[in-house]
Chain A
Amino acid sequence: MTASIIKIKNLSLLLPVPRLHQHTASKGDAVGGRFFTNRQGRTFVKSLDGLNIDIHAGDSIGLVGNNGAGKSTLLRVMAGIYRTYKGDCEVRGGISTLFTNSMGLNNNGTGMENMLLMGRLLGLSNKQIEEVLPGMIDFCELGDYLHLPMRTYSAGMRTRIGFAIATATNPDVLLIDEVFGTGYVAFRKSRGAHQCHHR
């Protein structure tokens, strides 16, 4: 039995809905979390409520649920992007995210430049980038296209860059959201990382 790498205990998250001060009762069959108005009259969406998850190293988990069930929200909590939750969320090790296939990539920059840019953004030093770059070039299989500006890329080629970046740091936890289709082949190639994704 391996140690748990993600441990979530009794996790609840209220997402604030700014500029909506009136409580609108959603009908029972609507998708998404329930609305909730606190004593100060602020409205929230109850997006996660009393969640318990235990994920171990080596697990591959897929989240399945209706629209607005809170799949992406949960991933953002795990990634540390949403931090106002109640309860415990403990993630051990490095996290990498792949939530969209555009991900702040610069269209005037080449694929190569964007890989450097994102490496810096994700906190790698120049030396670390130098170490992982050959692996990234290998991984995305874009060859000479890496020296063309990203605006010439197809959606699938962009996804390959995104995957190369997300897996470059060899993260302990890889969180993937809705980038399937074109990225699927590349996804299957990624190994060694713990994957938590949803379709």
Chain B
Amino acid sequence: MKMTRAKFFQWIMLGWTDIVLEYRRTKIGPLWQTLQVIVLTAGLVVVFGGMRRGIENFPAYVLCGLILWNFISITIIGGGRVFNHQAGLIRDTTAPLELYIVRELTVFTIRMFFQMVAYVLAIFVFDVTINWYILCFIPAIAVYIFTALWLMPMVGIWITRFPDFGPFMQAVMRFLFFLTPVFWGPGGNSMRQYLYLYNPFTHFLNIARQPLLGQPPDAQSWVIVLIFTSLGAMVSGLLYMRKRDFIVYWL
């Protein structure tokens, strides 16, 4: 099937329709995404407020961390389910597999943008520093989307082929939520320092969270993220080329 820009746009529209239909019967629709992230932030700030040492504007720090973590986590867990989720269509229509990746990634991205509404509110409520560094958020999100584009088919192939990976990844992601500085920062004991530096998710959070909080970009984090995502894209590309024709048999 020939890939055109118009076709790609249609795939994104499919994701948008999914959001519309998902919230069809609710009153405030996707603003539930906004409320959910606010509630979780409030809970974390109340309980873990003691861990704020050295972090300026702790509520905004946690909120941005959560919004970004939610995206990372859903692209891994939800991305892993993408082929099973769309199994009926994959088995019964001629649409290419890439369509389903783009469609679900669009859903995840729109959800993140609705969660960003909470960030916009936080700017006023918690007086977040805004400066030109915020422009760095745009390439950071581009990197997030690019990473999701290779991560989703890769995890999707694993989970479709080996269904045990599904619950396994859920457990891992829940564990990583605590191991990643979503609601804590560097410093403290040496183990926390170690986790902070050697966890690739730390650097993914850094590149997108720092500009939102008015901080300059961290060159080290950018380098690590770019190397990680380029290598991952290559591995995923090779895996996908070899296994894509078999996915339909594993559904």
Write the residues of chain A forming the contact surface with B, with a CB cutoff of 8 angstroms: 15-16, 18, 76, 79-84, 95-97, 99-100, 102-104, 106, 108-109, 113, 116-117, 120-126, 149
Q: Is the CB of B17 within 8 A of A109?
A: yes
Chain B residues 150 to 209 lying within 8 A of chain A, measured CB to CB, are 161
Chain B residues 200 to 251 lying within 8 A of chain A, measured CB to CB, are 245-246, 248-250
Contact status of A121 and B245, CB under 8 A, knowing A80-B94, A113-B21: no
Q: Is the CB of B93 within 8 A of A120?
A: no
In Å, the complex CA distance between A108 and B89 comes to: 17
Query: Helix, strand, loop or mixed for chain B's interface?
Result: helix
Q: Is the CB of A104 within 8 A of B92?
A: yes
Contact status of A123 and B17, CB under 8 A, knowing A18-B249, A81-B248, A99-B92: no
- Of the candidates A16, A18, A99, A113, the one having the most CB atoms from chain B within 10 angstroms of its own CB is A18
> Which single member of B10, B86, B249 contacts A15 (CB below 8 Å)?
B249
Contacts of B17 in A (CB 8 A): 106, 109, 113, 116-117, 120
Size range of the interface on B? 20 to 34
Q: How distant is A164 from chain B, measured CB to nearest CB, in Å? A: 15
> Which single member of A16, A84, A104, A122 contacts B94 (CB below 8 Å)?
A122
Chain A CB within 8 A of B47 CB = no
> Which single member of A83, A100, A116, A123 contacts B245 (CB below 8 Å)?
A83
Q: Is the CB of B246 within 8 A of A125?
A: no
Q: How distant is B156 from chain A, measured CB to nearest CB, in Å? A: 15
Contacts of B29 in A (CB 8 A): none
- Of the candidates B6, B89, B94, B99, the one having the most CB atoms from chain A within 10 angstroms of its own CB is B94
Q: Is the CB of A120 within 8 A of B13?
A: yes
Chain A CB within 8 A of B27 CB = no
In Å, the complex CA distance between A103 and B94 comes to: 12
Contacts of B7 in A (CB 8 A): 123, 125
Q: How distant is A57 from chain B, measured CB to nearest CB, in Å? A: 19
Q: Is the CB of B10 within 8 A of A125?
A: yes
- Of the candidates B11, B18, B91, the one having the most CB atoms from chain A within 10 angstroms of its own CB is B91
Chain A CB within 8 A of B139 CB = no
A124 to B, closest residue via Cβ: B10
In Å, the complex CA distance between A108 and B20 comes to: 10
In Å, the complex CA distance between A123 and B245 comes to: 20
Q: How distant is B198 from chain A, measured CB to nearest CB, in Å? A: 35
Contacts of B91 in A (CB 8 A): 76, 81, 99
Q: How distant is A38 from chain B, measured CB to nearest CB, in Å? A: 14
Can you list 9 A-B pairs with a CB-CB distance of less than 8 A?
A: A81-B92, A81-B94, A97-B92, A99-B91, A100-B88, A103-B92, A122-B94, A122-B95, A126-B10
Q: Is the CB of B21 within 8 A of A100?
A: no
Q: How distant is A18 from chain B, measured CB to nearest CB, in Å? A: 6
B6 to A, closest residue via Cβ: A125
Contact status of A106 and B21, CB under 8 A, knowing A15-B249, A16-B249, A121-B14: yes
In Å, the complex CA distance between A83 and B11 comes to: 23
In Å, the complex CA distance between A123 and B250 comes to: 25
Contacts of B95 in A (CB 8 A): 121-123
In Å, the complex CA distance between A83 and B90 comes to: 13
